[in-house]
Each structure stands twice: as C-alpha cells, then as structure tokens.
C-alpha cells in the first residue's frame, strides 16, 4: 500500500543519509565519527566519499576535489557541515515532481541508474539555506552506484550500546526567518508544526518551532535567535557557519547511560552541567528511574512531564560549529525545552552559593 497521502505528499520513508562536506578525508572530522562509534561501510574513491554508518544512521563524508560539485561549493561557502539531507522515498520521480509542483526549486533532475543490485533513482531540490535536499529510491542491499562495499574497516570501534537512528536534526536560521522556513517544510513536504517554544535566559534567547511528518520519520526543530540579544548561541552559530545550517543532530540510543559511558571513556567532550542542576531534579514535575548520582556521573540532562521523560546531553562542537546530542526517550516527545530554564536556574543557584548573586 502506498504511503503517499495528504499528510506525506512526497512519500518520505526515512532520512536516507546526511552528507558532510570537508576538504580532506584525513581531517579530524573523520576521526570524530570513529570516536562516536561509526564505521565505514561503503566508499567511492573517485569522489573521495566514505559512508560511515551505525544502526540506521548513515553519514556520507565527502571531500570531492571537483569545485563544481555541490559539496565543495558548500564547503567553500561555509566550511565543514551538513551539505545535503537525503530522504528515502517510496517513489523518487513522484517526490521530485510533487515537490516542484508545490513550489520547490529543482537542483538536479531525476537520474535513473540500473545496476547488478537493482535500480537507483534520485534527484535534488534546493533545501533550506544552501543545502540540497535529495529524494532517493534505491535497493536496500547496496548504497549507491559507484560506491564499493567495505567488508572490514580496521579503524572501526563500535560502541557497546550503539546509536540506532537520527531522532531529530535542528536547523538554525537568521532572526526573522524561522516563519519562512517553517512554511517551506509545510508547503513543500507537507510537514506539520508540533511544538513551539520561546526561551529567554539572561544571556541567551531563542525561538523555536518544530516541524515533522506525522509518522515521525523526519523531525526538524528550527531555531532563530531572539531579538533581544545578538550574542545568542544561535547567532554565534550563524556567524561561524556564515549562514543558516544544521546546528545539531540528535542520535537516539536505547540506553543512554551505557552509550555515554563509552563515549566519555573515548574522550568525547560534553557540556559541563553544574552540580546544582542535579540538586534541583527532585523538585521538577516528573520522576526518574535512574539514580541522580548516575545522571550526574554521565552528565545527563533530564526533562519530562507526568507521562514520561527524556534523557539527553550535548557534545561540544565537533564539525565546524555543529554538535551532537545523545537522546533516550521514555514516553516523552519533547526536545528538552525544560532544560534551558533548569540550566539557567542551576547556574544562578551556583552563583548564589558562591556569594556572587
């Protein structure tokens, strides 16, 4: 039965892969992905591309020397970052035609390639900022034409508790542009707005709206900096990335304490959370199964309501200004909005303890 309908007009099944552009496959960025437990599963020697995967997460790292290749154009404009979001679709020809009919700008027309593994069909539209959005239909046993399967990757260090999929990926856009990009995802992809939040701290502020497909296979929070403060973290990202881009990618795990323990032992750097944050957890409106000591040891943040909670934490920036989030959901579908205020309160409490406030 077809999945194409009014709430999923392009027939999107999943995020097929994200492409990261870089200038060399010898950079620290590739080591970062190994540190996070990814391993090489396919490679394309001529285009200097490697597919690193973990669970259902696929990242293509491309250092294509061809200046006319989109990934290199993106790199020259923005430095390292996500240059393409590729969506696995039921019917690539339909997705492209429908997207264009709904107002998308066609960037690469449909290509059909026959191979021993089956038929590949793909094409691209202009995504948000300078990103490409690809629609792909492909045989599941193989990744892409010209890519060769890698049977053994000597650099691979899989996590004991691996990440399973991309929970969400967050876009940062300039002040005043959130509405425009929310409309882009609504109009072209048929996504719906599921959450809105306006977070104001003393030093940071942001507005955010979440768009997603009803089947939850693609969830995109879109942030813009708040007017009141031009030094917000969103503005800092926009300055470093020289424009809008993917701010963070949330990697889902079924056991965050185990995944993070492994990452910490490999030296992955996470945001430091003050101990006052953990003192306040029992006062917040949800109950947590894990001990507060364990949460503090793993530097995990928690947010929820009376129906459930999520555990999450954030790495330092690892690919240009892009960082990663690790997330485990326990019947809670938020994004940790409560943590902005909780972190702010925790830092203030800490300042008071030190007699600063």
Contact 87, 95 (CB under 8 A): yes
Min CB(170)–Fe ion separation in Å: 5
Give 104 or 256: the residue with its C-beta nearer to Fe ion.
Answer: 256
What's the Cα-to-Cα distance from 162 to each of 141, 157, 202, 353, rounded to whole Å? 21, 11, 37, 39
Candidate segments 101-109, 232-240, 243-251, 272-280, binder of Fe ion by CB under 5 A: 243-251
Give 64 or 226: the residue with its C-beta nearer to Fe ion.
Answer: 226
Residues 89, 244, 325, 334: which binds Fe ion (CB under 5 A)? Answer: 325
How many Å apart are CA 351 and CA 357, to the nearest integer?
Answer: 6
Min CB(116)–Fe ion separation in Å: 40
Give 147 or 335: the residue with its C-beta nearer to Fe ion.
Answer: 335
Min CB(166)–Fe ion separation in Å: 11
Give 137 or 209: the residue with its C-beta nearer to Fe ion.
Answer: 209
- 245 to 264: interface string for Fe ion, x by CB under 5 A: -----x--------------
Handedness of CA 283, 286, 288, 294 (dihedral sign): negative
What is the C-alpha R_g of the chain?
A: 21
Residues in contact with Fe ion, total (CB under 5 A)? Answer: 3
Give 335 or 340: the residue with its C-beta nearer to Fe ion.
Answer: 335
Beta bridge partners of 224: 207
Which segments of the chain does DSSP mark as H helices, in order? 28-35, 70-78, 92-101, 178-189, 233-241, 256-265, 275-280, 292-297, 337-353
Min CB(95)–Fe ion separation in Å: 26
DSSP 229-288: -TTSHHHHHHHHHTS-EEEEEEEE-S-HHHHHHHHHHTT--B----HHHHHHGGGSSS--
Min CB(228)–Fe ion separation in Å: 22
Give 104 or 273: the residue with its C-beta nearer to Fe ion.
Answer: 273
Min CB(310)–Fe ion separation in Å: 10
DSSP assignment, residue 101? Answer: H
- Which residues would be at the binding site for Fe ion (CB under 5 A)? 250, 325, 335
């Amino acid at each position: 039965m077809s999945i194409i309908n009014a709430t999923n007009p392009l027939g999107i099944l999943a995020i097929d892969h994200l492409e990261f552009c870089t200038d060399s496959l010898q950079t620290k960025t590739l080591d970062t992905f190994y540190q996070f437990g990814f391993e090489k599963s396919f490679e394309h020697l001529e285009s200097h591309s490697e597919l690193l995967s973990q669970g259902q997460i696929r990242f293509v790292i491309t250092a294509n020397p061809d200046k006319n290749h989109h990934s290199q154009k993106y790199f020259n404009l923005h430095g390292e970052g996500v240059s393409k979001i590729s969506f696995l679709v039921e019917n690539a020809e339909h997705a492209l035609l429908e997207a264009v009919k709904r107002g998308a700008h066609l960037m690469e027309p449909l290509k059909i390639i026959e191979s021993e593994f089956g038929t590949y069909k793909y094409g691209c539209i202009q995504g948000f900022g300078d990103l490409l959005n690809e629609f792909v239909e492909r045989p599941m046993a193989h990744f892409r034409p010209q890519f060769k399967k890698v049977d053994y990757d000597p650099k691979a260090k899989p996590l004991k508790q691996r990440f399973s999929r991309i929970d969400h990926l967050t876009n940062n856009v300039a002040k005043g542009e959130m509405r425009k990009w929310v409309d882009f995802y609504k109009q072209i992809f048929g996504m719906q707005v599921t959450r809105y939040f306006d977070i104001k701290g003393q030093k940071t502020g942001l507005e955010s709206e979440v768009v997603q497909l009803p089947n939850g296979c693609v969830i995109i929070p879109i942030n813009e900096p708040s007017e009141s403060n031009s030094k917000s973290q969103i503005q800092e990202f926009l300055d470093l990335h020289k424009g809008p881009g993917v701010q963070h990618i949330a990697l889902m795990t079924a056991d965050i304490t185990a995944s993070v323990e492994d990452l910490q032992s490999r030296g992955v750097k996470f945001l430091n959370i003050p101990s006052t944050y953990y003192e306040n957890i029992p006062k917040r409106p949800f109950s947590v199964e894990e001990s507060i000591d364990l949460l503090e040891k793993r530097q995990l943040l928690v947010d929820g309501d009376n129906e459930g909670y999520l555990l999450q934490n954030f790495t330092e920036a690892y690919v240009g200004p892009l960082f990663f989030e690790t997330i485990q959901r326990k019947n809670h579908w938020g994004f940790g909005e409560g943590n902005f205020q909780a972190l702010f309160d925790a830092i203030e409490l800490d300042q008071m303890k030190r007699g600063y406030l």
